[in-house]
Amino acid sequence: MTLYELNHIVRSVLEASLDEEYWVEGEFADASVGFGGHFYGELVQKDGQGRNILARARVTCWARNYNIVSLRFQRETGETLRRGLQVKLLVKVTFHEQYGYALNIIDVDSTFTLGDMARRRREILNQLQEDGIINDNKELPLPRLLRRIAVVSSATAAGYGDFQNQLTNNDYGLHFQAQLFPAVMQGTNVEESVMNALASIADEAEQWDCVVIIRGGGATGDLSDFDSYSLAAAVAQMPVPVIVGIGHERDETVLDFVAHTRVKTPTAAAAFIIDRQAQEAALLDDLYRRILRSAENSIMNARQRLEHIQKVLPLLFAGFKDRQERQMELLKHRLLTASERRWEQEHHRHELLRKRLEGVNPRILLQRGYSITTCGGRVVRSPKDVAEGEVITTSLQEGEIYSKVVLCKKN
């Protein structure tokens, strides 16, 4: 038989024996919408570690049914039928002679996917808790001045433009230094791209007051890329406080639980930073006014003290002058008294000396009958003081006698 004939037999057997609908759990390894709005993908089952594929099957969903199923699924879960999503599908087994075995999607169980997403997020948070890092970034002190801001976002994202516009045109005229660290915020490279941006910021952490991770609106399902243990751990261990503003008001990711501050949108992130700076500016204004009032009070008090001193100083000076004059008079009296006493003492001592001198005056001695012998103007006290032949003079009260030495007799 031909291959077509064999495949036709297989098709007949499968359709006859598997004519019911079955609920099947698995993960989309591939998912896309092709020409005509038909959905094509591949459903796989992995082992317990999530590494090895145990089974796989091609899946399809025709456009008319896909529009109904996908819209309801997105409304209930916020997700799209995409690669990597765990799903529970109501399928019918089909076999085509040309395309082979496939599962045709009849319906999707939204509660299963929601439960899997919640389970996955819970597992990541539990692992972060066990590793002791879930609160690391929350415990960092947020600087009072958030002026130097490192922004992780897509350069072309509307959310980034809104963030920058709100910072630049804030109502308070505050200036911010915001630098973009570009990253892919949706698609297959979100985790790696954002982690690379965070690593670049961490290398120059001292230059930044905070990190802002922002992503605006879009498909809610794209936010599941942020439910990553590696990315959450990188945010938790950043040396700079991280502010996260991802998605819409209703959205939530693992990063919201590990970041220092969580806001809902990029504009909310800008508003948070602006409000904090405005509060600090208001505090500085209040401190300025308080310092100014304190300075004015100090100047007024000093002026009053000066005026008081100006009034009191002449009185103090007059009293001081009187005291000084009294002290000078007292000192003058003491000096005069001491001088007079010293003069009397010196006069008495002088009289004593005078009398003693008069007692040894040669004239007085001569009057008493003594004589003085000199030789060459020198007083002769010993025979050794003269030599034979010299003339000596003997002074008496009434005259002088000149003698020539004939003999010097020495004892």
In terms of domains, do 251 and 391 share one?
no
Give me the pLDDT at residue 192, please: 93
Q: Which residues contact 83 (CB under 8 A, 6 or more apart)?
A: 28, 29, 30, 31, 41
* Mean pLDDT, residues 224-250 taken together: 87
Q: Phi first, then psi: what are they for 43, rounded to 5°?
A: -105, 130
Task: Out of 63-67, 212-216, 246-250, pick the least confident.
Answer: 246-250
Torsion angle in degrees (nearest 10) through CA of 125, 131, 137, 140:
140
Tell me whether residue 94 is in a domain.
Answer: yes
Amino acid 350 reads: H
pLDDT at 273 over 90: yes
First vs last C-alpha separation in the chain? 186
Give me the pLDDT at residue 249, please: 57
Give me the pLDDT at residue 118, please: 78
Tell me whether residue 355 is in a domain.
Answer: no
Assign residue 86 the CATH number of its domain: 2.40.50.140
In terms of domains, do 266 and 166 share one?
yes
Task: Out of 58-67, 183-192, 203-212, 367-376, pick the least confident.
Answer: 367-376
110-130 vs 63-77: helix crossing angle, rounded to 10: 40
Task: Out of 113-122, 153-162, 302-311, pick the least confident.
Answer: 113-122
Give me the pLDDT at residue 167, please: 94
Tell me whether residue 315 is in a domain.
Answer: no
> Edge-to-edge, what's the strand order for the sheet holding 242-246?
177-182, 148-153, 210-215, 242-246, 261-263
Q: E strands within 34-129?
A: 39-46, 53-61, 86-96, 100-108
Q: Which of 209, 244, 279 is the last residue of a domain?
A: 279
Give me the pLDDT at residue 168, please: 93
Angstrom distance (rounded) from CA 95 to CA 17 = 12
229-236 vs 110-130: helix crossing angle, rounded to 10: 40
In terms of domains, do 163 and 224 share one?
yes
Angstrom distance (rounded) from CA 405 to CA 408 = 7
In terms of domains, do 144 and 261 share one?
yes
pLDDT at 104 over 90: yes
In terms of domains, do 134 and 275 share one?
yes
Chain length of the chain: 411
In terms of domains, do 53 and 146 share one?
no
Tens digit of each residue's pLDDT (9 = 90 or more) over 203-226: 999 999 999 999 876 555 557 778
Q: E strands within 115-232?
A: 148-153, 177-182, 210-215
Give me the pLDDT at residue 347, please: 86
Unique residue bearing structure tokens 């009293």:
319
Q: How confident is the model at residue 98 (pLDDT cuts 50, 70, 90)?
A: very high
In terms of domains, do 207 and 255 share one?
yes
Task: Out of 53-57, 65-69, 224-228, 328-332, pick the least confident.
Answer: 224-228
Using DSSP's 3-state secondary structure scheme, residue 316 falls into helix
Give the DSSP H/E element, type plus range, for residue 399. strand 399-404
In terms of domains, do 140 and 97 share one?
no
In terms of domains, do 79 and 187 share one?
no
- Mean pLDDT (the chain) is 88
Report whether 104 contacts 24 (CB < 8 A).
no
pLDDT at 184 over 60: yes
In terms of domains, do 154 and 81 share one?
no
Angstrom distance (rounded) from CA 214 to CA 181 = 11
Give me the pLDDT at residue 248, please: 59
User: Cα 77 vs. chain centroid, distance in angstroms?
Assistant: 43
Q: Which residues contact 240 (CB under 8 A, 6 or more apart)?
A: 140, 150, 201, 202, 205, 208, 209, 210, 211
Give me the pLDDT at residue 408, please: 82
Q: Which residues contact 276 (CB under 8 A, 6 or more apart)?
A: 142, 146
Tell me whether residue 294 is in a domain.
Answer: no
In terms of domains, do 23 and 87 share one?
yes
Give me the pLDDT at residue 338, please: 87
Tell me whether residue 244 is in a domain.
Answer: yes
pLDDT at 297 over 80: yes
Tell me whether residue 308 is in a domain.
Answer: no
Q: Phi first, then psi: what are they for 248, rounded to 5°?
A: -105, 180
* Mean pLDDT, residues 333-348 taken together: 88
Tens digit of each residue's pLDDT (9 = 90 or more) over 346-392: 888 888 888 777 766 777 767 777 788 889 888 888 888 888 889 98
In terms of domains, do 249 and 143 share one?
yes
Give the 3-state secondary structure percentages of the chain, helix then strand then coil, rounded to 5: 50, 25, 25
Give me the pLDDT at residue 78, please: 75
Where would I find the H helices in 242-265? 255-258
Domain range holding 88? Answer: 3-108
Angstrom distance (rounded) from CA 326 to CA 348 = 33
As for how many domains the chain has, the answer is 3
Angstrom distance (rounded) from CA 197 to CA 180 = 9
Give me the pLDDT at residue 39, please: 96
Give me the pLDDT at residue 359, please: 67
Tell me whether residue 24 is in a domain.
Answer: yes
Assign residue 259 the CATH number of its domain: 3.40.50.2300
Q: How confident is the model at residue 250 (pLDDT cuts 50, 70, 90)?
A: low
Q: Which of 108, 139, 160 is the last residue of a domain?
A: 108
Sign of the CA dihedral with 72 first, then 76, 80, and 86 last: negative
Q: Which of 246, 279, 312 is the last residue of a domain?
A: 279
CA angle 85, 86, 88 (to 5 degrees): 125
Tell me whether residue 288 is in a domain.
Answer: no
Give me the pLDDT at residue 206, please: 95
Using DSSP's 3-state secondary structure scheme, residue 76 falls into helix
